[in-house]
Amino acid sequence: MRRLLVVSFVLWGMPGVAGAQDAPPAAPLSENEQRAKQRFHQASEFYQDEDYVAAAALYEEAARLYGLVARDASGTVVDEAALKQQGVALFYEGSAYTLANELVEASSALSRYREQFGAGLPDEERKTLDQAITGLETRIGSLLLRGLPPDAQVLVDSRALDETPKAPIRLAMGDHLVEVRAPKKKPYLKTVAIAGQKELPLDVKLEPNETPARVRIEANVDDANVVVDGAPVGTAPVELSVTPGQRHAYRVNAEAYRNQDGDFEVEPGERTLIKVGMVRRRAQLGLRTEPYFLGTFYLRTDTPFKTASAGAGVHVFYDKFRFANFRNGFSFEANARDLDTVGVGVVTEWCPDRFADRTGLVSWCPLNVEGHITFGGHANPGFGPGTGDGRVDTAVEVRDGDAFARMTFGLGFVTYKNGTYTDNPDNQWLMTSHLMFAVGIDL
């Protein structure tokens, strides 16, 4: 019946106008007119093949192009023939949409045709057009979606609307699938039954999307430890599930490399890849200077050192001497003992990353070894070449950028050569304990 209504309207109302499509042009066609004629011809072929959706879209484009030819920028009609062709295209657009059961689009196209060309139609044709539009409107209802977030995307029968609807959506009567999507929310699906000339309200309630998301973290060095949200998750490469829709913090650390920190957010069901480039822990010049103050306590009292002495020195490290997490450097030390000794030696500090706290500000260096050859003997001939000292200790280090402070304590020994104090003229030695405080900077 719908097809008979459209065909009868075409045969009854449009014989004169439709024939204008074959009239020869009075002047060479403009580009828009050529394109309009081409679209109209393509639409007619689809129409004859009963592909009414494709035909309607092409008729709509042809009507738009003919409108550009027919009127100037001010809206004044400058081409009567193009205006007639626009009317033909509009009419057939409505007819094609009707046959495709796209009732809303059909009513819109025929209403535009009536608005622009209805005044010039004979009474019978105008009456037939009114009846056609009224018949379409009786089969159109509306859907009012309530509770939509501002960034929601609405699809009706798998076709996305241009923007989030605030007004009721006009739909043909019958069943329609409504889908609502929004960031970080589960898709909302609902089949609704639309009745003609009635409005259906629908409250949309979107639930948080808790579908697990996954993240994979890779590093450019082996045995890099990965921490996500404060919890160790293994060595890179590592892949894990995380809660979607929220920020997550990560840290990647490896021996002798700077900690790499960052954050990420993954959408529900998404998988993301993070590649971390590790940078060796060295300053711009590769130098580390570590001035220190030293208190030494002697475990014997029958020596030139009495019970304690104070000293000062400096450790100097160079990154090229570094091996993994072992820092190697030189030590220069002066002790204000009774005998005024000066020491020159080497020092090694072992500071594994795994003994640092999660922030990297506080770390424990469990083993440090240092040894000197001592010179002096200004007040006593017991010191000179061949004497020295050594220390084994542990340290806690606190960092602030490139600066640091360090507290060290441990055990050591001192050797000396003095037959005056003992019966043995060969080198003598004694055990010591010590406490060292250092501040320094990486340059």
CATH number (domain holding residue 244): 2.60.40.1120
Domain that holds residue 11: 2-137
In whole angstroms, what is the distance from residue 125 CA to residue 6 CA? Answer: 13
Yes or no: say if 373 and 345 are a contact pair by the CB < 8 Å rule. yes
Enclosing H/E stretch for 313: strand 308-318
- Could you tell me if residue 208 is inside a domain? no
In whole angstroms, what is the distance from residue 297 CA to residue 310 CA? Answer: 9
Sheet of strand 260-265: strand arrangement: 231-235, 225-228, 247-253, 260-265
In whole angstroms, what is the distance from residue 292 CA to residue 437 CA? Answer: 6
Q: Judge if 125 and 217 occupy the same domain.
A: no
In whole angstroms, what is the distance from residue 374 CA to residue 305 CA? Answer: 14
Yes or no: say if 5 and 130 are a contact pair by the CB < 8 Å rule. no
Q: Judge if 428 and 294 occupy the same domain.
A: yes
> Which CA distances in Å does 262 have to 195, 237, 244?
54, 16, 17
Q: Domain count of the chain?
A: 4
- Could you tell me if residue 98 is inside a domain? yes
Output the pTM of the full model. Answer: 0.48
Q: Judge if 265 and 399 occupy the same domain.
A: no
- Beta strand ranges found along 270-400 (DSSP E): 271-276, 287-298, 308-318, 326-335, 341-350, 362-375, 388-400
Residue type, 3: R
Domain boundary among 158, 183, 203: 203
Which residues are CB-contacts of 313 (< 8 A; sequence separation ≥ 6)?
291, 292, 294, 331, 332, 333, 334, 343
What string of pLDDT tens digits covers the 443 residues of the chain? 444 344 444 433 443 343 344 445 556 778 888 999 999 999 999 999 999 999 999 999 999 999 999 998 888 989 888 999 999 999 999 999 999 989 999 999 999 999 988 888 898 988 998 999 999 999 999 999 999 988 899 999 988 988 888 899 999 999 999 999 988 788 899 999 999 999 999 999 988 877 778 899 999 888 788 999 989 988 888 998 888 878 999 999 876 677 888 999 888 778 889 998 887 766 567 788 999 999 888 887 776 667 888 889 999 988 788 877 788 999 998 876 545 678 899 999 988 877 777 666 888 899 999 988 877 654 444 445 557 889 999 999 998 877 889 999 999 988 776 544 445 555 677 888 999 999 988 87
Q: Judge if 300 and 262 occupy the same domain.
A: no
In whole angstroms, what is the distance from residue 34 CA to residue 21 CA? Answer: 13
Q: Judge if 318 and 422 occupy the same domain.
A: yes
Q: Judge if 194 and 238 occupy the same domain.
A: no
CATH for 124: 1.25.40
Our CA dihedral for 114, 117, 120, 122, rounded to 10 degrees, sits at -40
Q: Judge if 429 and 296 occupy the same domain.
A: yes
Q: Judge if 268 and 411 occupy the same domain.
A: no
Q: Judge if 47 and 115 occupy the same domain.
A: yes
